[in-house]
Amino acid sequence: MEPFKKIKSIVTPFDEVNVDTDQIVPKQFLKLIHKTGFGKFLFYNWRFDSNGKPIQDFILNDPKYKNSKILITRDNFGCGSSREHAVWALKDYGFFVIIAPSFADIFYSNCFKNGILPVKLDSKTIDELFQTSGEIEVDLEAQKIKTSTKTISFDIDDHRKQILLKGLDDIAMTLEYENKISNYEKRVMTPSLL
Amino acid sequence: MPQTLFEKIWDSHVVVERDDGPSILYIDRHLVHEVTSPQAFEGLRLNKRGVRRPDLTIATMDHNVPTSDRSLPIVDQISGLQIKTLEKNCQDFGIQLFDIKSPYQGIVHVIGPQLGITLPGTTIVCGDSHTSTHGAFGALAFGIGTSEVEHVLATQTIRMEKPKPFEIKVVGKRKNPRTITAKDIILSIIRHIGTDGGTGTVVEYRGEAISDLTMEQRMTICNMSIEAGARAGLVAPDQKTFDYLRGRKFTPKNYDELVSKWQETLYTDSNTSFAKSFTIDAGSIAPQVSWGTNPAMVCDVTESVPFPEEYAKGNEDQRKAAEKALQYMNLKAGTQMTDIEIDRVFIGSCTNSRIEDLIEASNVIKGKKVASKVRAMVVPGSQMVKKQAEEMGLDKIFKDANFEWRESGCSMCLGMNPDILASGERCASTSNRNFEGRQGTGGRTHLVSPIMAAAAAIKGHFVDVREMELN
């Protein structure tokens, strides 16, 4: 995974609560067997009409937000299905940061496996950010978001932070505990399915 | 210190405990299906890694398999490729697979318990959010993303921060256990606590009304824990649990020994405090119907579609969401739920496709016909459920009533296979998600219990099943 760098970009204000992963990537696109190329399916049913033509008033179709790398949204983003395709689509489309008051658990965890930073902020600060125009800077190292008028701090679990900053491979890190895993297996003897 | 059941299972599976980050937890059972696994196996190959414990891993194909004649080739070539990819991955990595021709094929969360793969006190994961179903047996079972699937394949462990224990007490008794079902209990809970009420928690369902439920009914409850945002939901195992699992295909040989051990350990200690608690009176629950586009947008069948302001109780985000939902659902606030006409009925999914669900639905429709404008289908959760139902003659009852009787799979719960709603079609569905487009782009889903779905199929609109005659 690429190490996570500072992100400077305008913000896409996505004013929806409880956005489920069925909306982020509809099921008809889950049949692919690789991780790449999901960006074109992002919010497909909200972004395109039944003829595949862009729906003008959907926010991602506004040229103003074309190069935005930061999505700001409302409570419980990413609820529902565990499909990691949702995160692959957001990343492939170009989002590196998602800011919301809360996230669904599986989605939140999936973000860190794919180099996306989910930032939790209180609803009042989110309301203010919805009003921000112009670029903001997200600095994960310093845990700060800088707008033209103010600096906002955010909390993040230090372990998850390091994973993003260093682009670490979870599996390689776990395999460093090989001894402990083997010892557990000798001690517990889980009933086999063979 | 007194502990909850969840904490006991967690502690007994910790391989590495860390205060400064996620713990490493051992996984006893890993269930794999065709949709969320190809990229995980691809990752293993790229990094030259193997599957650590193929003997604790089981695969089946359920999400995109057709439910029509199994002797015919799969028409959708992209689905076909995904299915072939799973076959190859299982072969290459030595994983047992119940493929489309197997008598054990079925929805992964239906076959797990049926085959005795699911056991009390174990940790179970699958790349599917409804893995919470297995919690009905007192297992810690939760859905994971594809990267985590790869992690479990490679290490048989998962990295996870410890969720908080959440107690949901369902006290008292249901007014009529034949008409007020487990589905009504769980929809009612989600309606009260919201789709994020359980975020960051593992729910333990407790109380008299939970003890009263059969194992299959408990599965329906635990299944929808994720719809309240909880990673997992569980019920402490009891005699019903132990009886259910006895003598199944993968039930361990030393079962009695295990049961004694489970009886000694698998319960929440008295005087334990949960991080969160919610209580509901089973006697207050009526048959539920969803009216909106998430599983908290639910009301009693006797009520009318709510006005967004009334639903939102002052929350502007919720008001906007309700307005959008009514627009999508093409419903007018104030309409009686029983006046809403339907086009389709779907009885199936990992929530409600087990033998008891089919028996209950058949009791409603026996000797009756599906309303002429309604297309109705039954999709048994597994080949084993299908066979059992056929032996009982349920298929005949359904077919006589003009229901389609299909092969097993996830089917129209998520419409990855050819079973989908056309745009604008309205469906009474026993599945778990009424999200926009879930059952087909532009399709409109109302979540209900199997008997409510069966009753709606007969009448062509929602009805209060309490007013119907049951066989």
Q: Which of B48, B155, B294 to mutate to test the interface with A (most CBs of A within 10 A)?
A: B155
Structure-block tokens of residue A143: 């845990």
Task: Give residues 125 to 184 of A whose Cβ lies within 8 Å of B.
Answer: 157-160, 170-171, 174-175, 177, 180-181, 184
pLDDT of residue B141: 98
CA distance B380 to B392: 14
**pLDDT(A183) > 90:** yes
Whether the pLDDT of residue B470 is over 90: the answer is no
Element (H, E) at B14: strand B14-16
Choose, out of A50, A79, A173, the residue to mutate when testing the contact with B (most B CBs < 10 Å): A79
Q: Tell me the chain A residues in contact with residue B145 when contact means C-beta distances shorter than 8 Å.
A: 82-84, 87, 106, 109-110, 113
Q: What is the predicted pLDDT for the residue at B72?
A: 86
ipTM: 0.96
Q: Write down the pLDDT at residue B99.
A: 97
Terminal C-alpha separation, chain B: 51
Does B145 contact A20 at a Cβ distance shorter than 8 Å? no
- Percent pLDDT > 70 in chain A is 100
Each residue of B212-248: pLDDT tens digit?
999 999 999 999 999 999 999 999 999 999 999 999 9
Calculate helix-pair angle for B383-391, B355-365, nearest 10 degrees: 40
Give the residue-averaged pLDDT of B67-90.
92
Our CA dihedral for B235, B237, B243, B245, rounded to 10 degrees, sits at 80
Interchain CB distance below 8 Å, A174 and B150 = no
Q: Does A79 touch chain B (CB under 8 A)?
A: yes
| Contact call for residues A137 and A11 (beta carbons, < 8 A) | no
**Are A107 and A80 in contact, with CB atoms under 8 Å apart?**
no
- Token pair listed for A72: 């700001």
Q: What are phi and psi of A134, to 5 degrees?
A: 85, 175
For residue B372 the two structure tokens come to 């002429």
For the segment B369-399, what is each residue's pLDDT rounded down to a tens digit?
Answer: 999 999 999 999 999 999 999 999 999 999 9
Per CB-CB distance under 8 Å, the chain B contacts of A19 are none
pLDDT at B215: 98
Has residue B20 got a pLDDT over 80? no
Single out the residue of A18, A13, A40, A17 nearest to residue A29, CA to CA: A40
DSSP for B37-105 reads SHHHHHHHHHTT---S-GGGEEEE--SS--SS-TTSPPS-HHHHHHHHHHHHHHHHHT-EEE-TT-TT-
Angle between helices B146-155 and A105-112 (to 10 degrees): 70
CA–CA min distance B424, chain A (Å) = 12
Interface touch A75/B196, C-beta < 8 Å:
yes
What six digits make up the tokens of A165?
Answer: 């900053």
The predicted pLDDT at position B134 comes to 98
Instruction: Give the nearest chain B residue to A23 (CA atoms).
Output: B436
Q: How many residue pairs from chains A and B have C-beta atoms closer than 8 A?
A: 189
Give Cα separations from B134 to B275, B343, B468 (angstroms). Answer: 22, 32, 33
Task: State the pLDDT at residue B316.
Answer: 93
CB contact under 8 A, B441 and A158: no
**Residue B471, pLDDT score:** 80
- With H, G, I as helix, E, B as strand and everything else as coil, classify residue B119: coil
CB contact under 8 A, B321 and A18: yes
Around B145, how many Cα atoms within 13 Å sit in the side-chain half-sphere? 25
The pLDDT, as a whole number, for residue A147 is: 96
- For the full predicted model, state whether its pTM sits above 0.95: yes
Structure tokens at B357: 């669900």
B55 vs A32: CB contact, 8 Å cut-off? no
d(CA B115, CA A79): 30
User: Residue B144 is nearest to which of A74, A82, A192, comparing CB atoms?
Assistant: A82
Contact criterion met (CB < 8 Å) for B82 and A33:
yes
* Averaged pLDDT, B5-34: 94
Q: Residue B314: left if φ>0, alpha if ψ -120 to 50, beta else—which one?
A: left
What pLDDT score was predicted for residue A39? 97
CB atoms closer than 10 angstroms to residue A126: 19
Position B71 scores a pLDDT of 86
Option in B49, B81, B150 nearest A33 (CB):
B81
The two structure tokens encoding residue A43: 């919010």
Chain A residues closer than 8 Å to B161 by CB: 157
Sequence-separated (6 or more) residues with CB below 8 Å from residue A131: none
B145/A82 touch (CB, cutoff 8 Å), yes or no = yes
Interface touch B15/A180, C-beta < 8 Å: yes
Establish if A91 touches chain B: CB-CB under 8 angstroms: no
Q: What ranges make up the beta strands (E) of B286-362?
A: 288-290, 298-300, 344-347
Tell me the per-residue pLDDT of A28-62, one tens digit each, with 9 for 90 and over: 999 999 999 999 999 999 999 999 999 999 999 99
Contact assignment for B26 to A190 by CB distance below 8 Å: yes
B392-437 pLDDT per residue, tens: 999 999 999 999 999 999 999 999 999 999 999 999 999 999 999 9
Top residue of B19, B75, B123, B159 to mutate, by most chain A CBs within 10 Å, is: B159
Query: How far is Cα B289 from Cα B440, in angstroms, rounded to an integer?
Result: 19
- Residue B3 pLDDT class (50, 70, 90 cuts): very high
Give me the pLDDT at residue B21, please: 79
The predicted structure's pLDDT at residue B73:
84
Confidence of residue A133 (pLDDT cuts 50, 70, 90): confident
User: Which of A109, A160, A185 lies nearest to residue B145, judging by beta carbons?
Assistant: A109
